[in-house]
C-alpha cells in the first residue's frame, strides 16, 4: 500500500488518480502509523511553504517524514519542504537535502508553468527516460542545485528538477501530470 501524505497542500487527488491508473492501491492520510507502515510514501503538494510546514509541525508529520525508512517521493512543494529552507515565508524546512529554495527573479515569465526538458538526468527515477523528454512544471520557487541533485532543468537559470538522498526522492515537476514520461518516472519509484 502507498501512503499519500495529507498536509494542507493541494494536488493530492491527482496523485492518487495517477496511482489508480498504474493499479497501485493508495490511501490519503496524516496518520503517522499508517505512513510509517506503508510500502512507499508520496509527499505531494501545491501550496505555500510556511503554512504547509506549520501544519506538518502541528501534526508532528515533520518527525514522521524524517523517520521514514522506506522509499518516499516528494513532489513540487514536497521537494521544496525537504530542503534546508525556503524564501517563501522565510521558512525553515525539513533539511533532508542541503539546498536552499529561492524565488525565481521577478520577471514576466514567472511562474514556471508548462512543459520543460532536462539538461541533465541521473539515478533510478530516470530509468528509460531521455534527457530531452518533457515534464510538467508549475512553480515560482526552485531548489538550488546541490550534491544530491539528480536532474537539472533550465528556466531563467539551472535548478534542481529532481533530488535524491538515500530513500528520499523528490521532483520539482509533477510526474502525475507529465503524461507517459511522468508515468514512467512514477513506475520507476513504485518499483524500487
Backbone angles phi, psi at 101, to 5 degrees: -100, 125
Q: Is the pLDDT of residue 48 over 80?
A: yes
pLDDT tens by residue, 119-174 = 999 999 999 999 999 999 999 999 999 999 999 999 999 999 999 999 999 999 99
Query: Average pLDDT in the 54-75 region?
Result: 97
83 is an active site residue? no
Q: Output the domain CATH number for residue 180.
A: 3.40.50.880
Q: Is the pLDDT of residue 58 over 90?
A: yes
Annotated catalytic residue within 23, 153, 176, 183: 176
**Parallel, antiparallel, or unpaired for β 149-155 and 141-143?**
unpaired
Instruction: Give the structural domain span for 90.
Output: 2-190
Question: How far, in Å, CA of 163 to CA of 179, rounded?
Answer: 21
Judge whether 171 and 74 are in contact, CB under 8 Å. Answer: yes
Q: What is the mean pLDDT of the chain?
A: 96
Kindly compute the dihedral angle of the four CA atoms of residues 134, 137, 141, 142, in this order, to the nearest 10 degrees: -30
Annotated catalytic residue within 39, 60, 76, 88: 76
Annotated catalytic residue within 83, 112, 153, 174: 174
* Tally of structural domains, the chain: 1
76 is an active site residue? yes
pLDDT tens by residue, 81-126 = 999 999 999 999 999 999 999 999 978 899 999 999 999 999 999 9
Q: Name the helix (H) or strand (E) containing 35.
A: helix 32-37
Amino acid at each position: 500500500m502507498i501512503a499519500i501524505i495529507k498536509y494542507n497542500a493541494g494536488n493530492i487527488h491527482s496523485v492518487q488518480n495517477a496511482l489508480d491508473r498504474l493499479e497501485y492501491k493508495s490511501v490519503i492520510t496524516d496518520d503517522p502509523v499508517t505512513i510509517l507502515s506503508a510500502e512507499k510514501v508520496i509527499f505531494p503538494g501545491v501550496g505555500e511553504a510556511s503554512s504547509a510546514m506549520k501544519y506538518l509541525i502541528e501534526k508532528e508529520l515533520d518527525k514522521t517524514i524524517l523517520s521514514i525508512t522506506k522509499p518516499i517521493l516528494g513532489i513540487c512543494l514536497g521537494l521544496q519542504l525537504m530542503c534546508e529552507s525556503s524564501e517563501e515565508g522565510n521558512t525553515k524546512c525539513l533539511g533532508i537535502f542541503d539546498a536552499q529554495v529561492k524565488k525565481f527573479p521577478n520577471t514576466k515569465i514567472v511562474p514556471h508553468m508548462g512543459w520543460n526538458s532536462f539538461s541533465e538526468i541521473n539515478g533510478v527515477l530516470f530509468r528509460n527516460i531521455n534527457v530531452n523528454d518533457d515534464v510538467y512544471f508549475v512553480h515560482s520557487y526552485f531548489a538550488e542545485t546541490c550534491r544530491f541533485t539528480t536532474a537539472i532543468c533550465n528556466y531563467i537559470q539551472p535548478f534542481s528538477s529532481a533530488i535524491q538522498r538515500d530513500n528520499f526522492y523528490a521532483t520539482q515537476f509533477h510526474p502525475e501530470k507529465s503524461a507517459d514520461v511522468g508515468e514512467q518516472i512514477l513506475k520507476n519509484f513504485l518499483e524500487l
